[in-house]
């Protein structure tokens, strides 16, 4: 599977990545790669509920940043 991102989308992802914690970055990458929460938790050595919490935090950050760019 291949994704083609616009320069604006790339810049947005770079900006979001700069404000995520190291753990959030790892969870975000796993999500982008299509890993399930249980797989992500196992790989990162954290609980599945923690993965879920981090994904919710990431979603809030992305939604907040996205709203600020329009």
CA pair distance 36, 40, nearest whole angstrom: 6
Its pTM stands at 0.77
Query: Which two structure tokens, joined as six digits, stand for 46?
Result: 């954290």
Q: Which domains does the chain have, with CATH numbers?
A: 7-68 (1.10.10)
Give the pLDDT confidence of 26-51 residue by residue, as tens digits. Answer: 999 999 899 999 999 999 999 999 99
HSE on the CB side for 40, CA within 13 Å?
23
Position 69 pLDDT exceeds 60: no
**Residue pair 26/39 in contact by the 8 Å Cβ criterion:** no
Closest CA to 35 of 16, 55, 19: 55
What 3-state class would DSSP assign to 69? coil
Share of the chain above pLDDT 70, in %: 89
């Amino acid at each position: 599977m291949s994704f083609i991102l616009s320069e604006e989308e790339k810049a947005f992802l770079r900006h979001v990545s700069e404000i995520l914690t190291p753990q959030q970055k790892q969870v975000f990458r796993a999500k982008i790669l299509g890993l399930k929460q249980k797989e992500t938790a196992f790989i990162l050595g954290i609980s599945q509920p923690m993965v879920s919490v981090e994904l919710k935090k990431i979603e809030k950050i992305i939604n907040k940043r996205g709203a600020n760019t329009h």
